Chain A
Amino acid sequence: MTTLTYIEASGSRTDVDVPDGWSLMQAAIANGIDGILGECGGSCACATCHCYVDDLLMAALPAPSASELDMLDNVSAERRPNSRLACQIKASPALAGGSLTLPETQE
């Protein structure tokens, strides 16, 4: 388990213990985080699990794949340099203490 903090657009913060290997999208929807939709189920096909990752995650995460970069073109909120798709980020101890901020809208 790795603890990460989800910050919703309203500012509300939730710490979630994410099983290692789970995607941050899967953990969000299994724990009732409303700011992530994950409509496609995690196959990088819908761009509704858009998040902004903090500096810790920026440094710890591998770069997005070509398909994640393609799909990031489709996010509905503003795309920023720290935009990622939560379904493509897998929890591991290296991410402990990281936080992700969710946009106002996903669709």
Chain B
Amino acid sequence: MSFSFDPYSPAIDADPFPYYKILRDEHPCFWSPEAQMWVLSRYADIVTAGQDWQTYSSASGNLMTELPGRAGATLGSSDPPRHDRLRGLIQHAFMKRNLLALEEPIRAVARQVFGQLRGVERFDFKEVSSQFTVKVLMAALGLPMGDEAIVDEQTVRDNAVLMVQSDARTRTKGPEHIAAYNWMQEYAAKVIALRRAEPRDDLISHFAMAEIDGDRLDEREVLLTTTTLIMAGVESLGGFMMMFAYNLASFDEARRAVVANPALLPDAVEESLRFNTSAQRFRRRLMKDVTLHGQTMKTGDFVCLAYGSGNRDERQYPNPDAYDITRKPRGHLGFGGGVHACLGTAIARLAIKTAFEEFHQVVPEYHRMQDQLAWMPSSTFRSPLVLDLSTR
């Protein structure tokens, strides 16, 4: 049987890594009829494509399965110079030195959320990680919380998780995914209206009121960028926390090392970003013909950058299938790379370190309760839907 790589297949959701190895070794520039796009799987090719936005454009969308009407209006789905003016408005808030004010609030959220696990012997890690991510994101973006909240936190989380999924059978977004996306847009619109009426010193207020060279951002940019910040913040942070907990629950030696010495957490986080980060694949579209490994990809073709495969490329990382928290995998693609590298790297690193410091204070020993897990159906992201852990 000839090799196929279908990013909509449940087998790929569950374990893409054996497929990635065949792609890298035998089909480094592979046309997937199921996905209707080329797949690049080697580290060096992905880095090259990620740097060359003139050739590998994001303006036709960056999600493997794009949401309707979104392409071109968000940071991830636009090219410079449009991209740079949007990013210029937002990135300042996400710089490491500007996150100091969030350290204490994030710590307080982590204590409260993970404190609930005191004395609990069995739990789904998603229950706590989703509470944590939504609260952290609300604080970081300035979404109405507590008495001012206009929706409950769990609803935000549920919709953020649904909108990044895709249907394995139809290979598109299903009605439930579109409904979640629409819900998130309506929520973002309400928050924007609230902050415009009474601006505060928060990210969404600044963004909603911003003018560039005297021009307001267009309404679609404000709405869809805000929608994407909420989606990316909740789903990406939550998905990565699930993967980090999954790794620590699976590899006893690594878990015991970071529990005994929390100073090792940042290195363990970096290795998890390399080993099996939740953001597995993103998409670009060619602006000119490119010939690579004997194949010619045509102008207008879509190309998948399989970050999760580049991170396992033995040409870049020796013994790539070992989870080794002493590896210090510099240059990994866990946050993508180039002009579209993740905006939230600093807050993600801070939030995850804080969360697991507090989690391990309460739960120093834990294991997975199931060998087989149910994985999220998504052509872009990968994380388990449920992660039952036991402290015994």
Looking at A26, A38, A42, A107, which has the most chain B CB atoms within 10 Å of its CB? A42
Residue A74, interface by CB 8 Å: yes
Interface flags, B43-84, vs A, CB<8A=1, else 0: 010011011100000000000000000000000000000001
**Is the Cβ of B346 less than 8 Å from the Cβ of A40?**
yes
Cα separation A41 to B339 with both chains bound (whole Å): 8
Shortest B239–chain A CB gap in Å is 18
Enumerate chain B residues within 8 angstroms of A43, measured Cβ to Cβ.
87, 91, 338-343
**Is the Cβ of B94 less than 8 Å from the Cβ of A45?**
yes
**Is the Cβ of A41 less than 8 Å from the Cβ of B84?**
no
Cα separation A42 to B337 with both chains bound (whole Å): 6
Interface majority SS on A: helix, strand, loop or mixed? Answer: loop
Report the count of interface residues on B (CB-CB < 8 A).
28
**Is the Cβ of A26 less than 8 Å from the Cβ of B47?**
yes
Interface flags, A42-65, vs B, CB<8A=1, else 0: 111110000000000000000001
Looking at B50, B96, B346, which has the most chain A CB atoms within 10 Å of its CB? B96
Residue B97, interface by CB 8 Å: yes
Residue A10, interface by CB 8 Å: no
Residue B9, interface by CB 8 Å: no
**Is the Cβ of A29 less than 8 Å from the Cβ of B330?**
yes
- How many contacts A-B (CB < 8 Å)? 71
User: What is the interface residue range for chain A against chain B?
Assistant: 20 to 34
Enumerate chain A residues within 8 angstroms of B342, measured Cβ to Cβ.
40-41, 43
Cα separation A58 to B330 with both chains bound (whole Å): 28
Enumerate chain A residues within 8 angstroms of B5, measured Cβ to Cβ.
none
Interface flags, B332-350, vs A, CB<8A=1, else 0: 0001111111110110000
**Is the Cβ of A42 less than 8 Å from the Cβ of B316?**
no
Residue B18, interface by CB 8 Å: no
Q: Which residue of A lies closest to B335 (CB)?
A: A41
**Is the Cβ of B47 less than 8 Å from the Cβ of A45?**
no
**Is the Cβ of B47 less than 8 Å from the Cβ of A22?**
yes
Residue B145, interface by CB 8 Å: no
Q: Which residue of B lies closest to A43 (CB)?
A: B341
Residue B88, interface by CB 8 Å: yes
Residue B144, interface by CB 8 Å: no
Interface flags, B148-188, vs A, CB<8A=1, else 0: 00000000000000000000000000000000000000000
Cα separation A32 to B329 with both chains bound (whole Å): 10
**Is the Cβ of B95 less than 8 Å from the Cβ of A45?**
yes
Q: With contacts A19-B44, A29-B331, A90-B51 known, is A41 near B88, CB below 8 A?
A: no
**Is the Cβ of B47 less than 8 Å from the Cβ of A39?**
no
Question: Of the candidates B96, B316, B338, which one forms a contact with A30 in the assembled complex, judged by CB atoms under 8 Å apart?
Answer: B316
Enumerate chain A residues within 8 angstroms of B346, measured Cβ to Cβ.
39-40, 46
Enumerate chain A residues within 8 angstroms of B316, measured Cβ to Cβ.
30
Enumerate chain A residues within 8 angstroms of B335, measured Cβ to Cβ.
41
**Is the Cβ of A107 less than 8 Å from the Cβ of B88?**
no
Cα separation A40 to B340 with both chains bound (whole Å): 10
Q: With contacts A30-B316, A32-B330, A43-B341 known, is A74 near B97, CB below 8 A?
A: yes
Cα separation A73 to B142 with both chains bound (whole Å): 26
Enumerate chain A residues within 8 angstroms of B340, measured Cβ to Cβ.
43
Looking at B48, B341, B345, which has the most chain A CB atoms within 10 Å of its CB? B341
9 contacts between A and B (CB under 8 A): A26-B331, A26-B337, A40-B346, A43-B91, A45-B94, A45-B341, A67-B88, A74-B95, A90-B51
Nearest 10 pairs of A and B residues by beta carbon: A41-B341, A29-B331, A43-B341, A29-B330, A30-B331, A45-B91, A41-B335, A42-B338, A42-B341, A41-B337
- Given contact pairs A26-B331, A45-B91, enumerate 5 new A-B contacts (beta carbons under 8 Å): A40-B342, A41-B336, A42-B51, A45-B343, A107-B96
